[in-house]
Structure formats: structure tokens, C-alpha cells
Structure 1
């Protein structure tokens, strides 16, 4: 299981309804995208970090390990805005207002990524998928997603086991050995994936699978106080951004 999934299963907000956390997390994401990047981006990012590290109880180290990957994509996406290709200034030249556009994009995307991480760190996938059927998503689609979610972790576990076995047999001792190990890892993982899928299908058939996976969904009720607090936070961020924008800050 990935660290972010472990954190979601042990989150302080695990017992809350996923809709509450979706309203807060994705609401912050939409707010970060729609508001002006300055000062909206820093305000949304600060509010999201305060919620993650405070009420949600996410550790700073675990949050940084998860955030640095999307942050890398944000930086990579902002860098091309610094230059322009072609034109009278040559094949490659600094773009007009490039730093400003790159900074705006970085502020928006990084703040929006934190909003998505808020939902991911507090809501396990196993709590969300079964409820999608009630929301109108076809049951076979949800079943396939649940099975793929399970197989994904089994495959990652198999990859880790094979890599440990290769390392114990000096499979990474040299460049040639490393390439052979990579080829063996790919072949073994391919075979194991099909084997695990076949065993899973046999297990479902042996348990009377009739086209629908029936799982127990933890009971959770919507909290009006939580929804009101989330709406108030989003409204305060919008109002604060617009006021600061009017003041020229």
C-alpha cells in the first residue's frame, strides 16, 4: 500500500463522509484555479496547508513526500513560459512577461495540487468507489475500478519482492547485470499480473459473483457544521483575494 493510502486509512477524518471532504478539497482546488494567482494562490495554499497540518493531522514529512511530485510537474510546466520559440528575436529568446506568466501558473497549479492532496490524504479510495453507485455511476464500472485498485497494489508488492530477490542475488552488481534484472523484472511481473488476475477471477466465481461486488460501506452522515465551515473558508478566501486585489496588494 502506498504511503498516501496508509495516511488516508489512518486519517483523523476517516469517519467523515467523503462528500464533506470532496467539497473542501476540490472546492479549494477550484478556488485556486479561478481566483487571480496573486494573491489568490498563496492564500489558498496557506489555508490548505493549515487544514492539512492542523485538523486533518497530516505529518509535514509525509505531505512533502507526496507534494514534491506534483510540484515537480508544476515547475516543469511553468519553465517553458520563460522562453519564446521563433520570431524576430531568434530561434530561442526570453518571452515577454515570461517570468510573470510562469509565476502565475506555478502559484495556481501548486495551490490546486494541495487541494487535491487534502482529499487524497483524508479519503481512502475504498470509501469513495462504493458510494459512486448511489451517485449514478454504473455498477460494472465501479467493480472494475475496485478490482484494478486491488490488483495495482498486488502488482506493486510483487515488483518489490522480485527486486529484493534480485538484489540479494547481486542482480544490481553491474550495468549488464542491472539490465538483465530489469528485463527479468518486466517478464516476471507480466506473468504474475496475469496469474493474479486469473486467481482473482476464480476466487470471485467461487464466491458466487453475479456481476456486482457487494462491500460494506462504513456508515457516515453529513455534518452541517463541517459543510458550513468549509463553505465559510472558501467564501473567506474569495473575499480576501478580491479585497487584496482591489487594494493593489
Structure 2
């Protein structure tokens, strides 16, 4: 994702404009709660990402895959266990039913989140993270929020690399070759990542201290263009 953000047709576009183009439809989508508007925003922002920014559709679909998986699970849970009203479907499992209210709740939640995803994706896929943090800094967002975001962003990529390395090591030792073996490998992976996270956090703190860390991380400032 970081590579895509640095290599697209809108990389050099004003980041403040892109931030506005993200927040404006995002706020409208959340405020209006209109099914047709959600679909409209999803289509328009997807066209901007694919046709104007010229981001590969496979990368865009991959970006949507993980949040979509969580969204579908959440909406199914809402439809089955929340809401009142007339029963429109009986599952026959422990008395679980789908009501008019729960169906409406689940569907509208699905499309509301679907309308928000391309807006966030537009900013994430077209703007390098350093420029986003610089914009937030100039907009007087609290320093602690920016620093937490910076550390989280850095840590995510570190642990993704760790997970990839550990999975490859497990597979070379005949891991994941059966269901029970996969469960055991997954448990070992989770426990190892937890221990690695403690070790990495301590290493990070030592690195910051050795570089004169005083409680505030520096934020990237883009160089001024020469006239």
C-alpha cells in the first residue's frame, strides 16, 4: 500500500485537497444515512481511484478484502441478533430469527460502511503517510494522536514482515500440512508474535532514547519548492 501511495497519478496532488475530498463524502455518508447516496459515493470514489489515480483494480480489491470480511461478519451478526419487529425469516437454530428491524439495520450498516471505505481508500492509496501526518500537524491535531498513528503505522509493517518470515519457517518444517497441524502452528505463531512484540517495543524505546528522544517525534515537513 505504501508503494502504491508513492506511485500513482495523484501522488503529487495537494494533500490538503485530497484530505478534504476524503472527509467531505465521509461525513455526508455518515450524516445522511441514505442507502442510494452510499451506493453513489462508493461508485464515484471507486471511479476516482481506478480511472483518475490509475491504481490497479487488483490492488484496490485487495485493499477492500479485509475490511469487507469483517463487515460481512458484523452485518450477519446484526441481522441475526439485533432489532425487533415482525419476523420475516426463521433460521430454526435456537430460536434465532430475522426481523424487519434487524434486516434494515444490517443492510443499512453494510452500505454505510461500503460508502465510507472508498473514501478512506482514496486517501490511503493516493497519499504517502508522511504527507498525511504533516497535514494533520499543520491542522493542529494533538501531537499525541499523530505520534500514536506514526508508531502504529511503523509497527504494523514490522509485524507483517515478522509474521511472513515465521510462516515461511513453519512451512519449511512441514507446518500447515493438516488441520490439527495448522491449528498448532497458528497458536505457536500467535504466542511468538506476542513475545516478539514485547521485545520490539523495548528495542524501539532504546532506539528512541539513543537518538535523543524527548517525548515528541518529529513530523515530516515537505521541502519548499524553489521559485
> After TM superposition, is the score higher than 0.5?
yes
Partner of 1:28: 25
Whether the 8 Å contact between 1:17 and 1:220 is mirrored in structure 2 is no
Q: Deviations 1:164-219 (Å, cap 9, x if unpaired)?
A: 00100112233443333223322322232222222222222222222222243224
Partner of 1:49: 46
Matches within 5 A, 1:1-249: 4-35=1-32, 37=34, 39-79=36-76, 80-81=78-79, 93=97, 95-96=99-100, 103-219=107-223
User: Structure 1's 211 and 186: CA in aligned 2 closer, same or farther, altered over 3 A?
Assistant: same
Gaps of 5+ in 2: none
Q: Deviations 1:16-49 (Å, cap 9, x if unpaired)?
A: 3332112112222223334463542332222212
Whether the 8 Å contact between 1:8 and 1:122 is mirrored in structure 2 is yes
Which one has a bigger Cα radius of gyration? 1
Whether the 8 Å contact between 1:70 and 1:110 is mirrored in structure 2 is no
Distance 1:169 1:11 in 2: 40
Whether the 8 Å contact between 1:48 and 1:115 is mirrored in structure 2 is yes
Q: How far apart are residue 220 of structure 1 and its match? A: 7.8
Distance 1:176 1:68 in 2: 26
Bigger relative contact order (CA 8 A; separation at least 6)? 1
Q: How far apart are residue 107 of structure 1 and its match? A: 3.5
SS in 1 for 2:155: helix
Q: Give me the TM-score of the superposition, normalised by structure 2.
A: 0.77
User: Structure 1's 145 and 44: CA in aligned 2 closer, same or farther, altered over 3 A?
Assistant: closer
SS in 2 for 1:133: helix
Q: Deviations 1:134-190 (Å, cap 9, x if unpaired)?
A: 322333443333223212211121111111001001122334433332233223222
User: Structure 1's 59 and 8: CA in aligned 2 closer, same or farther, altered over 3 A?
Assistant: same
Whether the 8 Å contact between 2:134 and 2:219 is mirrored in structure 1 is yes
Q: Comparing 31-40 with 106-115, which one deviates more in the overlay?
A: 31-40
User: Structure 1's 68 and 93: CA in aligned 2 closer, same or farther, altered over 3 A?
Assistant: same
